[in-house]
Amino acid sequence: MLPRWLARLRPATVTGQLEAIWIADQAGTPMREFDAVDVSEQGLAGDRYATGQGHWHTVESCPVTLICSAELERATRRARRLRQPATPAPGNHRRNLVVSGLSRSPRAGILRIGSVRFAITRPRPPCGWLNQVVSYNLAGALRQDSGICLRPLEPGAIQCGDTVRWEAD
């Protein structure tokens, strides 16, 4: 009874917008912002995760990463309290996609960005490598607001401004 009642309180779908696309061609190289990108089952065209040039353990591979703008805002407030740079530089979060309209990255279900569908696989916690790349404790500021891993379910193209639609399982 309680799970059905709770399910009525949570919407089955939530929509937002793709605000930014970030790609780095190798581990540790600066993130570059793009307006549009092709998506394959391996990830985003030209990105380190799709080409196998990223920094991660094989078991933890993640074709595409996503973070919500609301999570970045919370991390910015935490960074101030930690006496880190007040506003992290664009792209320092090292996540591929930034979306607005969602208060937190969803933890399960399907995410549709434009015409491309992604499976949400798991949270993407920050690691010490992030701090080495940006030279301050951004991982400490992100904490639980660090985004998620996505697995593309079919090829296509996405662009900034596309509608983001989360569908719960």
Q: What DSSP string describes 32-90?
A: EEESEEEEETTEETT-HHHHT-S-S-GGG--SEEEEEHHHHHHHHHHHHHTTS-SSPPT
Radius of gyration of the chain (CA): 16
Which CATH number belongs to the domain containing residue 155 in this structure?
Answer: 2.40.33.20
123 inside domain: yes
Residue range 9-23, pLDDT digits in tens = 555 668 899 999 999
Q: For residue 60, which of 139, 151, 144, 131 has the smallest C-alpha distance?
A: 151
d(CA 43, CA 50): 5
Residue range 46-85, pLDDT digits in tens = 998 888 877 665 556 789 989 888 888 887 787 777 776 6
103 inside domain: yes
155 inside domain: yes
Tell me which residue range forms the domain holding 134.
13-167
3 inside domain: no
* pLDDT confidence of residue 86: 58
Q: Which of 14-28, 34-48, 83-97, 113-127 has the lowest mean pLDDT?
A: 83-97
When divided into structural domains, the chain yields a total of 1
4 inside domain: no
17 inside domain: yes
53 inside domain: yes
2 inside domain: no
pTM of the model: 0.82
